[in-house]
Amino acid sequence: MILAGVPSRAWADLTAFVGVNPTPSNRTATGLAVGIGVLIVGVEFEYANSREDLSALAPSLRTGMVNLLVQTPVPVARMQFYGTIGGGGYREQLGDRSETHFGTNVGGGVKIALAGPLRLRLDYRLFALRGEPLESKPQRFYAGVNLTF
């Protein structure tokens, strides 16, 4: 009860990232995430985009997800590990065919302290897309620059 009465330090962070969506072929994924949290729990909004590759029949994928994060309360050896689960909207498109619907994601990663409030963020996500997408279980790996404040 005493701990509940003590105010916790809230944190916020911003991540710009670039990575790869390997489903069904490697394509660049870019995006932006902003989050806020207290102790080990946080909420994050993320927007990401992967371009289509017509020659490989790989659709573009745009996602806007709201995620719940659970993370280590303090960095361990300058690394803060986290797991995430969430959901939101997506739009998949290949040529004239497109699908817009709801999707979920699960993943995790690590934020590695570099200098001051600057961190390197490494992340993996597995998506489950509803509706009739061409790729219902796309994945994404990314590295990003993370600024905490």
Q: Is the overall model pTM greater than 0.75, yes or no?
A: yes
**pLDDT category, 33, cuts 50, 70, 90?**
very high
**pLDDT category, 39, cuts 50, 70, 90?**
confident
The pLDDT tens digits of the residues spanning 59-89 come to 999 999 999 999 999 899 999 999 999 999 9
Query: Does residue 4 have a pLDDT over 80?
Result: no
Query: Does residue 1 have a pLDDT over 90?
Result: no
CATH number of 9-148: 2.40.160.20
Euclidean distance between CA atoms 127 and 77, whole angstroms: 30
* Run of H or E including 32: strand 27-38
